Amino acid sequence: METKNNSSLYWSLLKFKDWQLYIASTSKGLVFVGSQNKPFEELVEWTKKRFPGSTLVEDDEMLAPYVVEITQYLEGKRKTFTVPFEYVGTPFQQAVWDALCEIPYGQTKSYSDIANAINKPAAVRAVGAAIGANPVLLTVPCHRVTGKNGFLTGYRGGLEMKTLLLDLEKRASSNNE
């Protein structure tokens, strides 16, 4: 597992309606979007694993561009993200996360679809593990992945959050037609 050892990791608490999400970035890009209404400890624990020895620095100004785009997404006004990311993961995880970004807004794919997209059709379980390790919820849309039968399956943010995101995209897509 690739980790980074930076001196500072910048964070902010994004508040939108009844949502609270901790987000974090390096100077290069977004590295973490937390689960809906989870405590700060979720970010602290993730930082210890992926950025050992780094200092968490609250910096609302530095995170403002990320807050703007994520808020626009939650309002149903943004379908893609333009802010920079700094993925911290293995090459396999990064390939999976890149494939997730190719799933069109308002649509879903199965774990098998993602395994096939990265030319690893037998790696469905490994794909599931990589999706579960996605550090930037919402922006790398792992919520768009369902079981082969179309049923909702695990999600780091919880199935309630996954359902809310899929419903938001479905509503925004139907409003734009």
Contact between 21 and 70 under an 8 Å Cβ cutoff? The reply is yes
Other Cβ atoms closer than 10 A to 22: 22
- CB neighbours of 83 closer than 8 A, spacing ≥ 6? 29, 30, 65, 66, 69, 139
Marked catalytic residue, from 115, 142, 161, 166: 142
Residue 142 is among the residues annotated as catalytic for this protein:
yes
Can you say whether residue 150 is alpha, beta or left, with left for phi > 0 and alpha for psi between -120 and 50 degrees? left
Active site residues: 142
